[in-house]
Amino acid sequence: MNRFAFLIPFTFFSFAFVACDDHKVTLSFNTQNPAPEDYELRSSLRVLVDSQADSSNAQNPESMNADIRVRLHSELLSAYDDGSGRFLLRVDSANYTSDTRSVEESDHIERYLKTQAFQFKMAENGDMKSVSFDDFVALPDIGDVDIRKVFLKIQPVLPSSPIAVGESWERQQVISDDNGKQSIAYKWFKLEEIFMRGGVQLAKVQMNVRYKQRSEDDSQLLESSDFVLGSGSVIFDVKEGKIVEGELSIDGKVRLIEKQSGDTIPDLRVHQKISLRSSR
């Protein structure tokens, strides 16, 4: 298996309602009665050995490229009295390509993507709990793509009070893995504008992300000594209370340690672009 393969990651669809009061808006997720939605999620990943860290690879650095495109279906399962809701998100179709994978490996990843379905409980501000695969979905092996992690990167956490265009807010997002280990993503948001498109009122929210990468299993450790950084935006349909589109670009350096051999690949440069589009 290519030693970069497992790096294929870590986005979340959102629902928002907006109410105006003295030029301010209140943003909150529709956790009570959203209609079922279909989305297209895409992730393009490029990983290469940083040329400044390894001059022998400066002219022809070792690298990998991988692209994922999945069609997702979202629906509300239960609405609770505390304002939260339990959602289901499942993959209806998937396409995966990589310039370092064999045909058999790519087919395996694509088949596994098509099995993925997970549930989560989400509060009105977007805070999510118990983001877990359905019982029939096997946990990912090394190199498999975990759609939950891709969505969590782009998931916004909304302000707790009304906000005006141009104002910003910050949130910490706690992410737990299947082994109960937690990591924190720091997110900064700004309400950039409220505008009309095709007769639909939309809200554009700018987003910046930073987090320390650390993931580990029995054979490999992936970590970053500095923050991985990301920037992008999310656009909401104000009336319908749903996301229309979102995009996020991520850049950072990580290193990979293979435990069995003791090999270390230092200063891997990672570039990832994630996009989410409503299919309606």
* For the chain, domain boundaries: 5-59+70-278
**Arithmetic mean of pLDDT, 64-93:** 95
Per-residue pLDDT, 19: 47
CA 14 to chain centre: 12
For 26-45, how does the pLDDT look when each residue is reduced to its tens digit (9 = 90+)?
A: 888 889 999 999 999 999 99
The per-residue pLDDT for 75 is: 96
Q: Name residue 169's beta-bridge partners.
A: 189
Closest CA to 149 of 107, 89, 195: 89
Query: pTM for this structure?
Result: 0.83
What dihedral angle (degrees, nearest 10) is formed by the CA atoms of 131, 137, 139, 142?
Answer: -120
- What torsion do the CA atoms of 132, 135, 137, 142 make, to the nearest 10 degrees? 60
- The two three-digit tokens of residue 50, written as one number: 């940083």
The predicted pLDDT at position 230 comes to 95
Of 84-98, 181-195, 247-261, give the range with the top mean pLDDT: 84-98
- Is CATH 2.60.40 the right assignment for the domain spanning 5-59+70-278? no
Q: Return the higher-pLDDT residue of 228 and 126.
A: 228
Q: What is the pLDDT of residues 109-153, one digit of tens each?
A: 999 999 999 999 988 888 888 889 998 898 877 678 889 989 888
What is the pLDDT at residue 63?
82
Whether the pLDDT of residue 173 is over 70: the answer is yes
Which two tokens mark 274?
Answer: 């994630």
Which position has the higher pLDDT, 43 or 237? 43
Percent of the chain's residues with pLDDT above 70: 81
More confident residue, 95 or 3: 95
What confidence score (pLDDT) does residue 92 get? 96
Mean pLDDT of the chain: 83
Lowest mean per-residue pLDDT among 77-81, 122-126, 191-195: 122-126
Which of 12-16, 39-43, 226-230 shows the highest mean pLDDT? 39-43
SS3 at position 244: strand
Q: Tell me, what's the pLDDT at 2? A: 53
pLDDT of 161 higher than 70? yes
Between 205 and 162, residue with greater pLDDT: 205
Q: Which of 20-24, 168-172, 194-198 shows the lowest per-residue confidence on average (mean pLDDT)? A: 20-24
Q: Which of 250, 245, 218 is nearest to 234 (CA)?
A: 245
Higher-pLDDT residue of 128 and 21 is 128
Measured distance CA(198)–CA(185) in Å, rounded: 35
Mean pLDDT of 205-234: 83
